[in-house]
Structure 1
Amino acid sequence: MSNRLRRRREELSAFLRSRRARISPGEVGLPSGGGRRRTPGLRREEVAALAGVSLGWYTWLEQGRDITVTASVLDAIGSALRLSAAEHAHLYRLAGHVPPERTPSHQDSVPDSLASVLRGWDPHPAYVLDRHWRFVAGNTALSTVFGSITPGLSCLEVFDDDSPLRQVLPAWERMAPDLVSEFRVDVARYPDDPEFRHILRRLRANSALFERLWGKQEVRVSARSTKEIDNGVVGQLTFDSVTVRTDEHPQMRVVLLSPRHGTPTASRLAALSVRH
Structure 2
Amino acid sequence: MTTTHTTAADRTEQVPQRREELRAFLRSRRARVRPEDVGLPGRGLRRTPGLRREEVATLAGIGVSWYTWLEQGRTINVSDSVVESIGRVLRLDHAERAYLYQLVGLKPPEEKILENSALMHELERLVDAWSPYPAYVLDRWWNFVIINESAQAVFGLRGYGQNCLISFFTDAKYRSFFANWDTLAPQVVADFRGSAAAYPDDGRFTAIASELNARSPEFAKLWDQHDVRKESNGTKAVLHPVLGEMTFDHLVLHPSSRHDLRVTVHLPREGFEARRRLERLLESQPASSLRCL
TM-score tier by shorter-chain length is: 0.5 to 0.7
TM-score w.r.t. length of structure 2: 0.53
SS at match of 1:236: strand
Structure-1 separation of matches of 2:201 and 2:283: 47
Structure-2 separation of matches of 1:139 and 1:209: 29
1:185 aligns with 2:194: yes
Q: How does 1:29-68 map to 2 (within 5 A)?
A: none
1:275 aligns with 2:284: yes
Aligned CA distance change for structure 1 residues 140 and 207 (closer, same or farther; 3 Å): closer
Paired residue type of 2:245? Q
Structure-2 separation of matches of 1:167 and 1:106: 35
Paired residue type of 2:134? P
Q: Which residue of 2 aligns with 1:266?
A: 275
Q: Which residue of 2 aligns with 1:196?
A: 205
Structure-2 separation of matches of 1:143 and 1:129: 14
1:239 aligns with 2:277: no
Aligned CA distance change for structure 1 residues 112 and 174 (closer, same or farther; 3 Å): same
Structure-2 separation of matches of 1:153 and 1:161: 11
- Displacement, 1:161? 4.1
Structure-2 separation of matches of 1:196 and 1:265: 36
Instruction: Indicate conservation of the 8 Å contact 1:228/1:238, yes or no.
Output: yes
Instruction: Indicate conservation of the 8 Å contact 2:213/2:220, yes or no.
Output: yes
Paired residue type of 1:116? R
Structure-1 separation of matches of 2:166 and 2:116: 19
1:105 aligns with 2:116: no
Aligned CA distance change for structure 1 residues 106 and 233 (closer, same or farther; 3 Å): same
SS at match of 2:266: strand
Unaligned runs of 5+ in 1: 1-102
Structure-1 separation of matches of 2:218 and 2:149: 33
Q: Give the aligned CA root-mean-square deviation in angstroms.
A: 2.6
- The alignment of Structure 1 onto Structure 2 pairs a total of residues equal to 174
Aligned CA distance change for structure 1 residues 193 and 254 (closer, same or farther; 3 Å): same
Instruction: Indicate conservation of the 8 Å contact 1:131/1:252, yes or no.
Output: yes
Paired residue type of 2:140? R
Q: Which residue of 1 aligns with 2:23?
A: none
Q: List per-residue Cα deviations over 1:119-142 (Å, max 9, x = no partner).
A: 221221111111101111212322
Q: Which residue of 2 aligns with 1:251?
A: 260
Unaligned runs of 5+ in 2: 1-110, 286-293
From 211, 220, 223, the equivalent of 1:211 is 220
Percent of matched pairs sharing the same residue: 34
1:145 aligns with 2:154: yes
Instruction: Indicate conservation of the 8 Å contact 1:159/1:207, yes or no.
Output: no
Paired residue type of 1:105? I
Instruction: Indicate conservation of the 8 Å contact 1:108/1:136, yes or no.
Output: no
Structure-1 separation of matches of 2:197 and 2:171: 28
Structure-1 separation of matches of 2:142 and 2:116: 13
1:166 aligns with 2:175: yes
Aligned CA distance change for structure 1 residues 162 and 246 (closer, same or farther; 3 Å): closer
Say which structure, 1 or 2, has more relative contact order (CA 8 Å, 6+ apart).
2
SS at match of 1:255: strand
Paired residue type of 1:232? P
